[in-house]
Homo-oligomer: A and B are copies of this chain.
Amino acid sequence: MIELKREGDVFVLRMDAGENRFHPDFLAAANEALTEVERAEGPKALVTTGAGKFYSNGLDLEWLGAHQEEFVPYLESVNALYARFLELPAPTVAAVNGHAFAGGAMLALAQDFAVMRTDRGYFCLPEVDLGMSFTPGMSALIQGRLTAPVAHEAMLTGRRYAAEQAREAGIVQRTADEAGVLPAAVELAASLAGKDGGTVRAIRVGLYKHVIAALRGPALPE
């Protein structure tokens, strides 16, 4: 479901569970991988990627439908995963190999940079069309990483951004074709791996202090 491999200084976390929705087991495996990266010695950076045509479609709505009583703690566990990325003592790069929707799009935003595949796949926050809202932490994350006009359009219209549109909007930083996405992300990550992890973490945590607080706060608006 989640595979973590180290290639030189770069850890590659590969999600390979279909749409890569956040089943509790998936979240647990992702958290374990992050712990392994945190504990690794020496220069390091993390790349995340999916498989096939999906990066990640976010919340596991099927599981959630069968466990409605766990709605709030489940959302909080997703928010906590985003917070861990923001707190990770290593540079992070999302290799967006395919669709990054909803919670999967936010997973990409929780990382330092993103490289997106040009020929297929969208970055999309479809919540408005699903009758769903965002947790305060998710709103803060999106607002903290995108410009105000882009966050507004993405959240209020559910627009699907293809790679080049996402790059122009500042949602991702680079684009590449299918074969080039992961190598480009690994290259970018490798170029950043020499930075001191503790310093990266301190700067990022300082920059997103209020985002992290919101992600670790209540999942339902007060």
Please report A residues at the B interface, Cβ cutoff 8 Å: 91, 112-113, 127-129, 131-134, 136, 139, 143-149, 151-153, 155-158, 170, 173, 192, 195-196, 198-200, 202-207, 209, 221
Contacts and interface: CB of A to CB of B under 8 A. Distances in A.
Contacts of A132: 199
Given A112-B156, A128-B199, A199-B132, A207 B143 contact: yes
Contacts of A192: 156-157
Q: How many copies does the complex hold?
A: 3
A216 to B, nearest CB: 15
A187 to B, nearest CB: 14
A200 B149 contact: no
A207 B203 CA distance: 24
A207 B155 contact: yes
Given A127-B203, A202-B133, A149 B146 contact: yes
Contact of A147 (B112, B170, B205, B209): B170
A212 to B, nearest CB: 12
A206 B148 contact: no
Given A133-B206, A134-B203, 4 more contacts: A112-B152, A132-B199, A134-B206, A139-B206
Contacts of A136: 206, 209
B156 A204 contact: yes
B139 A207 contact: yes
A197 to B, nearest CB: 11
Contacts of A146: 148-149
Given A143-B207, A203-B155, A149 B129 contact: no
Contacts of A144: 148
Contact of A148 (B133, B147, B158): B147
Which of A151, A156, A195, A202 is packed against the most chain B CB atoms within 10 Å? Answer: A156
